[in-house]
């Protein structure tokens, strides 16, 4: 193969490869992925709390979320109850139990408010879908 022709073909291949990479990256950047952020979720929940539940601190919100995540990540804690549900009653009960053990007496409505707002945050970022319509189930 002729030297200048080979050089031109190689430049064309490199340019095509560069254009393909640029196109792929531009597609990825235009469809921003939703990423769960702990700090973002705490801010979202904090902003959504009613005035009557404002006696919680951001550390309290973080603590409740951590206990719920611990519950969801430990199959031995929920396997007898069936698959875990984010914001479910079992997760809330576990969070309250852990709160009492560590000297934090949260009311059930405070825990449910935090967990409900966490579900709203997950829905807002597209991490979960809308609740299923139970009327359609067999």
- One-character DSSP codes across 40-87: HHHHHHHHH--GGGTTS-HHHHHHHHHHHHHHHH-HHHHGGG-S--TT
Banded pLDDT at 117 (limits 50, 70, 90): very high
Q: What is the largest CA-CA distance in the chain?
A: 82
**Residue 137 reports pLDDT greater than 60:** no
| Across 78-107, average pLDDT | 84
pTM over 0.85: no
DSSP letter at 37? -
pLDDT digits (tens, 9 = 90+) for 63-88: 999 998 888 888 887 777 777 777 78
| DSSP helix, strand, coil percent of the chain (3-state; round to 5) | 70, 0, 30
**Residue 55 reports pLDDT greater than 80:** yes
């Amino acid at each position: 193969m002729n030297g200048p022709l080979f050089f031109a073909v190689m430049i064309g291949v490199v340019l095509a490869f560069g254009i393909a990479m640029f196109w792929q990256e531009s597609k990825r950047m235009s469809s921003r992925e939703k990423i769960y952020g702990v700090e973002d979720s705490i801010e979202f929940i904090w902003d959504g709390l009613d005035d009557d539940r404002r006696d919680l601190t951001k550390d309290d919100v973080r603590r409740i979320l951590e206990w719920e995540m611990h519950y969801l990540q430990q199959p031995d804690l929920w396997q007898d109850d069936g698959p875990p549900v984010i914001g479910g009653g079992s997760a809330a009960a576990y969070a309250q139990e852990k709160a009492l053990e560590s000297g934090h007496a949260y009311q059930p409505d405070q825990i449910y408010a935090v967990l409900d707002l966490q579900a709203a945050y997950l829905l807002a970022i597209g991490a979960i879908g809308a609740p299923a319509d139970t009327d359609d189930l067999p």
